[in-house]
Amino acid sequence: MQTTTVMQSRPVPRARRRTRANSTVSVVGAGMAGLVAAYELERLGFRVEVIEGSRRLGGRVHTHRFGAAEGAPFVELGAMRIPTGHHRTMHYVEHLGLADQVRPFTTLLSEENAFLATSTGHVRLRDAPRALIADVRASLPGAPYREETVVFGAWLAAVVDAVAPPGLRTGLRADLARNLLDLVEEVDLSPHLLGHAKDRIDVHGLFAAHPGIRAGCGDRLNSFLDDILTETSPELVRLACGMDQLAQRLAARIRGPIWLGQRVSGFEVAPDHVLVRLGGGPSPAVRRCDYVLCTVPFSVLRSLTLTGFDDDKLAVVREVDYCPATKVAVHVREPFWEREGIRGGASFSGGRIRQTYYPPSEAEGTTDPSLGAALLASYTIGEDAEHLGAMPPAQRHRTVVEELGRMHPQLLRRGMVRGVASLAWGGHPWTAGGCTIRWGQDAAACEEQRRRAVRPQHRMFFAGEHCASEPAWIEGAVESALEAVTLIARHAPGRGVVEPAGLEAA
């Protein structure tokens, strides 16, 4: 495992007055956007420093390891998967020497022995079609739909129930009853039906072949549908060594200092410099910077003191919406789920815990079986995440273990649980949200908000997934970082614009 040396909690030195030929870019935030930008700016010849408020690299890439020993089990409390179509991110995986760590990510509705919550209780995925179809039939009394149309409705409902927040789950039921199934009724579904009994369906393939049926989805569900389909796609990968190695290896390649534990309390922009206020209290330290690249989420930025920003910039900082997310990981004595035939993938556990993800059975030799095993016991977003996130950690952990124990009674055996860790991103001081959301906005409105988020303020530039066309993914952080690098390079006199490493594959 590769690590890097960073500077912890030391006062950031005051910048010397520099000529334009040797300008320094102060990158605020050591998440993926900040680290990619810092690395690429140095490749263009800029001097770079990174200022991070927390004491950890990676931002919302957060691999939690249960112990410091080699081979300790780990769980991703942040980003845990990469769609293979996210070419910028995959380029950095290869560029940073991590290609040999890429493994398939087995997602929801992929492991036949995993569980699915239905109205009759938890059933194995292989046994779920009958219960799912019955649930949809019961919600459509007297509706004369073909059996295959109901199969579509049943599996789309299963996907949405597992992934979406409560409001969208309710909206789907209304859409099914109102007009979505009417549109599907006109489509030949036979090429997309799966299984010997034709009681499963390739939802991804159907939407790809017949995009017009999306017109039957309400605005909010339609805008979330891409996320739903991506999160349950077979085209997902992970890093066997832990996603945090992306951040660690990027940081190791950055020559300039990375200052951790430096809380930024405000920015003041001027035509020829940016003042960065560090620390709180009546007399914060003030640092004069040639250029600033701010990757702070707008959910946090709007709580800082912002001086010199124009009205539209202040407005978009306030307007960008964030969805909370909460993850709870459990360290156990042994992988008890393997005795039930579960070799990885995920269960839709329902209730308050929603999704449960299991590590791959062989763990690729990256973990030591004597140190136990770990699973992502609960992954929630939206109101579900707010509910768990509002609990004190001890209550949150107890709630998740007890509720998961109803699906996996082995979890409640004496001595099975060795430890629990969680992260409620909605209440986290450095993020105040899990990710940016633009649900309910059409494509033009999404792009307009993104453009306003990116727009610089004199010598202060912006990046982060909130500035990207692919929010909520590492790809968005990388995309926005590369765009910001290009804007800074064009602004700085006397510098050519060299294609950043990540753009070669874009």
Composition of the chain by helix, strand, coil, percent to 5? 40, 25, 35
In this predicted structure, what is the pLDDT of residue 167?
Answer: 79
Return all residues near 90 (Cβ < 8 A) that are at least 6 apart.
82, 84, 505
| pLDDT tens readout for residues 387-443 | 999 999 999 999 999 999 999 999 999 999 999 999 999 999 999 999 999 988 889
Model pLDDT for residues 229-257, shown as the tens digit of each residue: 888 888 999 999 999 999 999 999 999 99
Domain limits of the chain? 21-55+245-320+438-505, 63-108+236-242+323-427, 115-231
Burial 412-450 (b: 16+ CB within 10 A, else e): eeeebbbebbbbbbbebebbbbbbbbbbebeeeebeebb
Q: Which fold has domain 63-108+236-242+323-427?
A: Polyamine Oxidase; Chain A, domain 2 (3.90.660)
Q: What is the distance between the alpha carbons of residues 380 and 38, in angstroms, rounded to a whole number?
A: 32
* pLDDT at residue 139, rounded to an integer: 84
pLDDT at 224: 80
Instruction: List Cα–Cα distances, 20 to 46, 198, 290, 489, in angstroms.
Output: 10, 67, 9, 12
Instruction: Identify the three-state secondary structure at position 13.
Output: coil
The reported pLDDT for the residue numbered 2 is 46
- The per-residue pLDDT for 284 is 80
What is the rounded CA–CA span in Å between residue 144 and residue 125?
Answer: 27
Question: 21-55+245-320+438-505 — its CATH code?
Answer: 3.50.50.60
* DSSP reduced 3-state for 35: helix
DSSP state of 369: G
Task: Show the low-confidence residues of the chain (pLDDT under 70).
Answer: 1-21, 362-366, 493-506
Query: Are the beta carbons of 51 and 10 closer than 8 angstroms?
Result: no
